[in-house]
Amino acid sequence: MKNKIKRNHEIKLRLSDDELDDLNNAVLKTGLSREAYLRLIIQKIVPAEKPYPDLKETIDQLRRIGNNLNQIAVVAHKTGSIDVMKYKKNFDELQKQIQYVLRVNDEYRKEEVNI
């Protein structure tokens, strides 16, 4: 069981409207609370931005394609031959998914800037 940190000290901080907006925008990008965000900053840890929503599904798809390619490579090594059509199909799908990840990531980051 984790030891609960006892936090019984409170600080008051005054910010300008712009500073508060900047803080809130930075916090929003991470998905953390303001308190958790500031605690990380105090520890000299820059919180990472939360990934775009479809990332888990996309990573799962890439893993499946990678596993397919690995299985094809194992069979090719054992038999000395390769199913070129099956390999090409999986390779093309992998390339398509990589391009999709890059495109979605770029679109998601552009939306984040416009907050």
Q: pTM surpassing 0.85?
A: no
Q: Is 67 left (phi over 0), alpha (psi -120 to 50) or beta?
A: alpha
Residue indicated by tokens 């939306």 = 111
- The CA distance from 106 to 113, in Å, is 11
Residue 13 has what DSSP assignment?
-
pLDDT 10s digit of each residue in the chain, 115 long? 567 888 899 999 999 999 999 999 999 989 899 999 999 999 999 888 887 777 778 888 888 888 888 888 888 878 888 777 887 888 888 888 888 877 877 776 665 544 3
Residue 77 has φ and ψ, to the nearest 5°, of -70, -40
